[in-house]
Structure 1
Amino acid sequence: MTGRVLSLRRRWRKAVRRCAAALTQAVGRHPFLAGIAGTAVATAMASLTFLTLYDGRADALLHAHETSENLVSLVSSDLARNVEIYDLSLHSMVDGAQNPQTWKLPTELRQAVLFDRATTAAYLGGAYVLDAGGRVIASQRDELDPSVRLDDRDYFVAQQRNPDVGLFVSHPFRSRLRGGNLSIGLTRRINGPDGAFAGVALLAIRIEYFQHLLDKINTGKAGSVFIVLDDGTLLARKPYTEEAIGSSIAKSPTFMLMASRAEGSYVAKSAVDGVRRIFTYAHVPSTPLIAVVAPAEEDVFAEWRRRSLLAGGLTLALGAVFVLVSWLLAFTLQGKVEAQAELVRLAATDPLTGLSNRRVLDNRLDEEWLRARRNGSAMSVLFVDVDYFKKFNDTYGHAAGDEVLIAVAECIASVVRRSVDLVARYGGEEFAVVLPETSAQGALVIAEKIRKKVQAISVFYEPDAQGSVTVSVGCATCLPAQGGSVSGLMAQADAQLYVAKSAGRNRVSAGA
């Protein structure tokens, strides 16, 4: 078992090494892959970071919604509980006021019958019984003023006109009995023995109750929380502005959404101060009240923005550095590849003429010989030698001789133009031409073109003298499939070169 595990490990390591080697070779052949890969990796990492940051924004928004829903639920529960308690007191007051015996009782006992202990709760401005004319006929604190009539109040008019209105929550008003304190009224109708309107039971709740409730809630620096009637009348708001209390937001598009549904959430600009907020609202059960919590988008996303700027900035900076390093590496590798290619070219090139050197010639001869033997095609070789070169070199110097060699090399290269052909400097003033898939006749034609091309050039080696350079060419052709060898073919071409030399130079000699 241990041996099998070790064998698997060895195979795995070999596979990893092979992959690494293949990757290294690929990058070596295509150095810009390093830059492209680095850019792709940096882009992918940046994309992942930004997706994560976007998810963080969604999480911040979700957390704000959940928190707002919880706060709305708390406010709504508190309001519903207190309104229910106050409504029980109103029912008690109505029952007591509708009983004729109550009004025959002594004042203290009548007060105890009409007003229970709930009417002494904090933020309760007062408890009153009004007659059919709107005058206060009983008060928890004996605030009786015959000159004060309340028959114009909305809570009185509503109960007077509609026997089925039930519990009515009024708009904010300034109290005429308590020095102008801002309050709202909770009322129920009092009927006479015959069912006719006989008055109103009223509980006045100070606006401070709602403000105190809202002050406990933290919605951020620019956030808001408010309580509004279902007709758009604002009862309380944080941040508090006295002029806003009692104002109407009924025409605001944001309020229309609240009025149309029991609860919900949306994002919009506030109709009061224009701040963009996330509104979460709920209608308080059994009341016309709507509780709204609206943190500002700026506050909700402040921490997320701070983290995003930090993470996004670092990601972009590191990504830019990574891309820069990747492309620097790519250009460095490119330079190395070009340098290596140049070294390979120099190793395969004759430094004087720019033609292929002897090493390349030998390798190419072997390759073309094998190919011709497989294909059954002919293969030809030319030997080109500059005539009287030693004499010319001795007379005019090596610099002039080098110029002649360069000019001859250019002539040969201009004639031999197929991509499969090879022109190489064999050594000294000798050149070799490899002509794959070329017959003896074809080789002879090319050799003659080379001879004429060289003869046509003029070399000026003295101010008052002009001379022509000539070459002798030996041609050899064979069918490798029928036997023989590369060395034998070259020997034949060399022999034909000497034939051309012996026949007077500046000529071509061919043999097969």
Structure 2
Amino acid sequence: MVVMAAILAAGAATLWQERQDAWRRAEREAGNLAFALERDIARNFHYLDLSLQGAAAALAQPGLNDAEPEVRQMALFDRAVTAQYLGSILVLDTLGQVREASVQLPVPPLQLADRDYFAAHRAEPDLGLYVSRPYRSRLRQGDASIALSRRLDTPDGRFDGVVMGALRLAYFHDMFSRLDLGRDSAVSFFGTDGRMIVRHPAREDDLGRDLSQAPTVQYMAARQSGSFVGTAVTDGIRRLYAFRQVGELPLVVSVAFSVEQIYAAWWRRALIFGPLLALLCAAVAGLGLVFRREMLRRLAAERALAGLAQRLATLAATDGLTGLANRRQFDEALAEAWRRAEAGQGLALLLVDADCFKAYNDRYGHQEGDRILRAIAAAIGVTAKRAGDVAARYGGEEFAVLLPATGPEAAAHVAEALRRRVHALDLPHADAPAGRVTISIGVAALPPGARAPGAAACLVEAADAALYAAKRQGRDRVALAGALQAA
């Protein structure tokens, strides 16, 4: 069975490690892809922003408005770095009318005051570079695009229009489509406001779709970068997401691998390795069961012998009438307790005797006498109940109680509690002075820390002398022996 458990543990550990490795590889690949895409997008946005800044700087040159349209276009846009998929660079006046364009002459009569970037720059002087929501271009027959824009100001800081550059979304589609991500995986590019810009694989309703309430989008929009596992609200597929914010812009690019696809190869290996491991374990288990059956037979026989030996040992150490330890067991316990007392732990001994017991037997009979002895034994068991206490039938109607680590005063207190408990039984005894069954107790003790005076017999002798003193003083009482003297 140990061999089978070891095989199962090793096989399970191997499969688990492979599963973890598959996840780490996917996590690493998704993170690297997100980083590469973010770098590429940020670089192209930077190039386009340089074009916007160049056009804004050229507009500030004196005499530009008096030049011919071709000269103005060359002055405004000849320093522009043309990014792939660049649509057009336009300069809008304070009313949103196109006043300069990089794509054609004469300047097209377009009014773009309704675009979100125009309204944003007009409202916020310090907005800086602004990335618009996706829109359909009016210059390119509805081509899907986004705009990067900057505000133009007069020398005294008043709003003087907007310079914007359009970037076709085909740039993102072509870049994302070159990635081999596997089934049910996706790449997304969206704003931190939850507005979808591009998704691959693409769907008809992706452009500008509001996903601000999606938990996955909320998680990514609130962080610079990271990875996590989430379920997409668009299709309900559980994916591993790796994401990064694009530079300092409120844009996020994410790569999402299907969790099912990540583990697909691992499941194929597990479905081959698992049955083979199960067959091997079944063979080992069969041998183990045969071995177990034989061992159980042997153990059953050994337990039967051990149980019999235990019962015999218990019978040999127990008084048959009272259930307490017998005299032999008491002598062994006394010798062991005395060795500990010699080490300074202390020890007390109570010798208990049923008063006028012979007269009780003569009057009430031996059956009733046995009942009285059992009642006294029960009272002793209730009183001396610490883990180390030993109660025994010492002989006839006498009992002995060993109290380890107990001084004279504490032992006398225990003895008095025992005497009262027996007295409270209120068992009638016509020949006893009290008219009921009573006991007399002799107490001898070696206090903790005291030096042992000799053999354990001196403790028994002292307790026995105290018992006889209690008898002489009228019975139904506790007598305490004097201090044991060192040899």
TM-score w.r.t. the length of structure 1 is 0.55
Residue 125 (structure 2) pairs with residue 166 (structure 1): no
Residue 70 (structure 2) pairs with residue 70 (structure 1): no
Q: 2:339: which partner in 1?
A: none
More helix by percentage: 1
Q: Deviations over 1:447-489 (max 9, x none)?
A: xxxxxxxxxxxxxxxxxxxxxxxxxxxxxxxxxxxxxxxxxxx
Q: 1:224: which partner in 2?
A: 186
Q: 2:434: which partner in 1?
A: none
Does the Cα contact within 8 Å between 1:76 and 1:283 map onto a contact in 2? yes
Amino acid at match of 2:59: A
Shift in alpha-carbon separation, 1:165–1:300, aligned structure 2, 3 A: same
Q: 1:310: which partner in 2?
A: 272
Q: How does 1:407-422 map to 2 (within 5 A)?
A: none
User: Which of 236, 248, 252 is matched with 2:198 structurally?
Assistant: 236
Q: Deviations over 1:185-206 (max 9, x none)?
A: 1000111233211111010111
Greater relative contact order structure (CA < 8 Å, 6+ sep): 1
Q: How does 1:247-262 map to 2 (within 5 A)?
A: 247-262=209-224
Q: How does 1:391-406 map to 2 (within 5 A)?
A: none
Shift in alpha-carbon separation, 1:209–1:309, aligned structure 2, 3 A: same
Highest Rg: 1 or 2?
Answer: 1
SS at match of 2:242: strand
The alpha-carbon deviation at position 295 of structure 1 amounts to: 0.5
The alpha-carbon deviation at position 161 of structure 1 amounts to: 0.9
Q: Deviations over 1:395-452 (max 9, x none)?
A: xxxxxxxxxxxxxxxxxxxxxxxxxxxxxxxxxxxxxxxxxxxxxxxxxxxxxxxxxx
Shift in alpha-carbon separation, 1:100–1:135, aligned structure 2, 3 A: farther
Q: 2:229: which partner in 1?
A: 267
Does the Cα contact within 8 Å between 1:143 and 1:177 map onto a contact in 2? no
Q: How does 1:297-336 map to 2 (within 5 A)?
A: 297-328=259-290
Amino acid at match of 1:164: D
Measured in 1, the distance between the counterparts of 2:233 and 2:175 equals 22
Structure 1: runs of 5 or more not aligned: 1-38, 338-512
Matched-pair identity in % = 36
SS at match of 1:244: coil
The alpha-carbon deviation at position 47 of structure 1 amounts to: 1.9
SS at match of 1:251: coil
Q: How does 1:16-415 map to 2 (within 5 A)?
A: 39-116=1-78, 118=80, 120-142=82-104, 147-328=109-290
Amino acid at match of 2:244: A
Across the two proteins, how many residue pairs are aligned to each other? 298
Measured in 2, the distance between the counterparts of 1:330 and 1:146 equals 93
Does the Cα contact within 8 Å between 1:127 and 1:204 map onto a contact in 2? yes
Does the Cα contact within 8 Å between 2:48 and 2:82 map onto a contact in 1? no
Shift in alpha-carbon separation, 1:63–1:143, aligned structure 2, 3 A: farther
Amino acid at match of 1:110: R
Does the Cα contact within 8 Å between 2:86 and 2:166 map onto a contact in 1? yes
Q: Deviations over 1:128-162 (max 9, x none)?
A: 11111111111111266665311011000011111
Structure 2: runs of 5 or more not aligned: 299-487
The alpha-carbon deviation at position 227 of structure 1 amounts to: 0.8
TM-score w.r.t. the length of structure 2 is 0.58
The alpha-carbon deviation at position 250 of structure 1 amounts to: 1.0
SS at match of 1:320: helix
Shift in alpha-carbon separation, 1:235–1:143, aligned structure 2, 3 A: farther
Shift in alpha-carbon separation, 1:160–1:306, aligned structure 2, 3 A: same
